Amino acid sequence: MAAKLYKATATFPSLGDESRQEVMVEAGGWAAAMGLAARKLKALAPLKRKQIKICSIELQLMDGGAPQSIENSENSTGAAEEQAS
């Protein structure tokens, strides 16, 4: 399977002015892209040494055709709710 380009846009309500962050990842599928995006987001300067309790991540397929998005929201309990739109 060829790698596809995804744009991950995350919202972290506890960060105030820096609550919206974006990263680009390349992966074979949306699940792998979500994992890579989470790791890249955590490495960003505004998130260093911060405990994240709530975040929302939107994953958008950038390669070919109409953009597709997948949302993943997590809270501190680790429960995830995924929606494909």
Mean pLDDT of the chain: 80
Give the burial string for 37-49 (b: 16+ CB within 10 Å, else e). Answer: bbebbeeeeebee
Closest-CA residue to 58 (of 18, 1, 19, 7) = 7
Q: How far is the C-alpha of 33 from the C-alpha of 60, rounded, in Å?
A: 10
> What would the pLDDT profile of 32-72 be if each residue is shown by its tens digit?
999 999 999 999 998 888 888 899 999 999 975 445 555 66
What's residue 70's pLDDT? Answer: 57
Angle value at C-alpha 57, between 15 and 69, nearest 5 degrees: 145
Tell which wins on pLDDT, 33 or 85.
33
Tokens of 28: 């074979």
